[in-house]
Amino acid sequence: MHIGSVHMGTTEERPLMAKRVIHELIDDIDGKPAAESIVFALDGVQYEIDLSAANAAKLRDAVAPFVAAATKVGRGGVVATGRGREVRGRSVTRGDRDQNRAIREWAQAKGIDVSDRGRIKQDIVDRYHAEAGR
């Protein structure tokens, strides 16, 4: 018998222990078990909420008319700007490139100053859509 220290032996001599970690989602509205986590953004701020299937359906139903009327801007990670703000990054799709080319051609034909590359000013995009009836 050895008192004062404990000798555990080598790995081969002692049994290995396993751990199971269970993460349980709790509905952030009613405290009941949640079915999913939903990530959404509003006014440039990204949120995540855990909801039951019923509450997730309520959320989707509530925002459905707004989603239907909105323009989808793509998906991407949150990117820090270095000025204390974050913006959502996104990739430019083939459709975006084609539309940007059409907007640039339209603007140049109208004598509107527009850069050959980069972001097109929002007022130019708005004028293009207004004239095209979109």
Q: What is the CATH number of the domain that holds 48?
A: 3.30.60.230
Instruction: Please state the φ and ψ torsions of residue 13, each to the nearest 5 degrees.
Output: -85, -25
Map residue 126 onto helix, strand or coil.
helix
| pLDDT value of position 15 | 72
Q: HSE on the CB side for 45, CA within 13 Å?
A: 2
Structure tokens at 30: 């009613």
Q: Which of 46, 75, 104 represents a domain boundary (last residue)?
A: 75
Q: Is residue 57 part of a domain?
A: yes
For the domain that residue 126 is a member of, what is the CATH number?
A: 4.10.320.10
Q: Is residue 27 part of a domain?
A: no
| pLDDT value of position 38 | 92
Q: Is residue 15 part of a domain?
A: no
Per residue in 49-62, pLDDT (tens digit) is: 999 999 999 999 99
Q: Is residue 111 part of a domain?
A: yes
DSSP-assigned letter for residue 33: B
Per residue in 58-109, pLDDT (tens digit) is: 999 999 999 888 888 866 555 444 444 444 555 556 667 888 888 999 899 9
Map residue 50 onto helix, strand or coil.
strand
Give pTM, 2 decimals.
0.44
Nearest to 53 by CA among 29, 36, 70, 65: 36
How many domains is the chain partitioned into structurally?
Answer: 2
Owning domain of residue 123: 94-132
pLDDT at residue 32 greater than cutoff 50: yes
pLDDT, mean of residues 22-47 = 91
